[in-house]
Structure formats: C-alpha cells, structure tokens
Amino acid sequence: MGGHSHWANIKHKKGAADAKRGKAWTKLSRELTIAAKLGGGDPSSNPRLRKTIEDARALSMPNDTIKRAIMRGTGELEGAAFEELSYEGYGPSGVAMLIECTSDSRNRTRTDIHTILSKNGGSFGAPNSVAWMFKPKGLITVIKTGALTEDSVMEAALDAGAEDFKVDGDTFEIYTAPNDLAKIKDALIAKKITPATAEATMIPDNLVAVDEKHAPQVLKLIELLEALDDVKNVYANFDISDAVMEKMAA
C-alpha cells in the first residue's frame, strides 16, 4: 500500500460501513463555506463547490444544511470565519506528512496537531520541508467489474484527457490535472463508467518504505490527525508492503 491514494481507497471502503456522519457533515459544511467564499455560490461555475455538494448529498446531508453553509460563504448568513491552513511534519520512519486544515482558530489547530504528532512519534517540519515533495492532482478511482476491463477504462480515461492510469488490485486509478477532474469524471460517466471516488489530492514524488514495526504507528497517526474536526486532508508518502498489510489485518 503506497502513498495517500491507496490509503484514501481503504478509508472509502471502511467509511461506507462505519462513517461517523456528524463529523463528516461538520467537515463538509466547512468545505462548502470555504468553496463558496473563494469561488461564489453557483456550483455550475464553481467546480470545487459542485464537488463538495455532491459529496454532501452522498452522505445524506440535508439540502437546508448545504444551503446555509453556502450562504455563510457568500456572506448572506453570518458565521465563523474559516480559513485554509497547511502544516508540514514527519511521522515514524521519516514519513513526510502534509496536513490541510480548515479552521476558525489557528492557535487551537496548531496546538491540537502538535499534540498528536508529539505523542505518536511525529514532529512538525519547517516551512516547505515537506510541501515540495507533493504535487496536486485529480484522482478518480473505478472499481474493477466484469464489464469494465482495464483496456476499456484506460482508453476512456486517456481519451478524456487523463494524465496517467494505474491498476491497484481491484481498483483502477486515473490521474488528472487538478482543473480537469470534473471534466474527466463527467466523460467517464457518459460512457457508463461510474467512479467510486473523485477527489483533488496531493501525490508524493517518492515513497518511504515502512516496516512491520512502524506501519501501525504511521496509520494510527494519520487516523488521529484526520479525526480532528479542523483537519481536512492528510497526505503522506509512506509505502507499506502487501505482506505487512496482511499481517496487520490478521
């Protein structure tokens, strides 16, 4: 299991069974507000807002809640002043971590992240000590089925303008330029290829091998960070072998 994209797939599958809806709604509400603040309240001209509305509806967030979050972003309703923050750090085995946050209190967010890192074998990094290792990409995943062959999905993805295509077990991974994510997702759907996930992500240039001893520590640290309401995404450049993952699952 290498890097954030594979970790995201595992989270997606696990989340379908035991998602804590309230916490997910809190994070989505903040993202709706930020997206509307930065790009306006019309999803047809704001791809980030459109994507977040789709995510919110997929988790059965009420339309009124979605509308209020957007109106806070456009200034039509009063609310907390959220801002986007990014922190850099390291986990066990020197794994690089890029932590994206949405917060109404810089001090609280930094303190919470510092506490979790320091108690779980991690540490803060200096500015740009980690960020340069990651590149922004769009990532679309498609679950392999009998009707969807590798050749058919790859051809559809590349014809739509995808930058790269990979196979990871029973999942096809399609990488896009950040601004092409929605366009390529729509092109796949038009060809009756339904994505399991479609998200803006950060892909590491290189991966760090993590052994059996440190793998549980790395994954626990990421889970603890992601459990914070202020944390939107955690990207990491770890590589855990299939053999180690099988031992952890046993």
Q: Where along the chain do its domains lie?
A: 3-74
pLDDT digits (tens, 9 = 90+) for 173-218: 999 999 899 899 999 999 999 998 888 899 999 999 999 999 999 9
What's the CA gap between 169 and 229, in Å, rounded?
A: 31
Which residue blocks in 120-199 are alpha helix, DSSP H? 150-160, 181-190
pLDDT digits (tens, 9 = 90+) for 126-156: 989 999 999 999 999 999 887 788 999 999 9
pLDDT at residue 111 tops 90: yes
Q: Which fold has domain 3-74?
A: Arc Repressor Mutant, subunit A (1.10.10)
pLDDT at 21: 67
pLDDT at 8: 47
Calculated CA dihedral for residues 196, 83, 234, 17, nearest 10 degrees: -40
What's the CA gap between 223 and 214, in Å, rounded?
A: 14
What's the CA gap between 142 and 196, in Å, rounded?
A: 5
Q: Characterise 243 by phi-psi region: left (phi > 0), alpha (psi -120 to 50), beta (else).
A: alpha
What's the CA gap between 16 and 12, in Å, rounded?
A: 6
Q: What whole-number percentage of the chain has pLDDT above 70?
A: 91
**What is the pTM for the complete model shown?**
0.81
Is the pLDDT higher at 13 or at 232?
232
pLDDT at 20: 60
What are the distances in angstroms from CA 81 to CA 26, 49, 69, 109?
14, 18, 12, 14
pLDDT digits (tens, 9 = 90+) for 62-74: 999 999 999 999 9
Cα-flanking dihedrals φ and ψ of residue 221, to 5°?
Answer: -60, -45
Q: What is the mean pLDDT of the chain?
A: 87
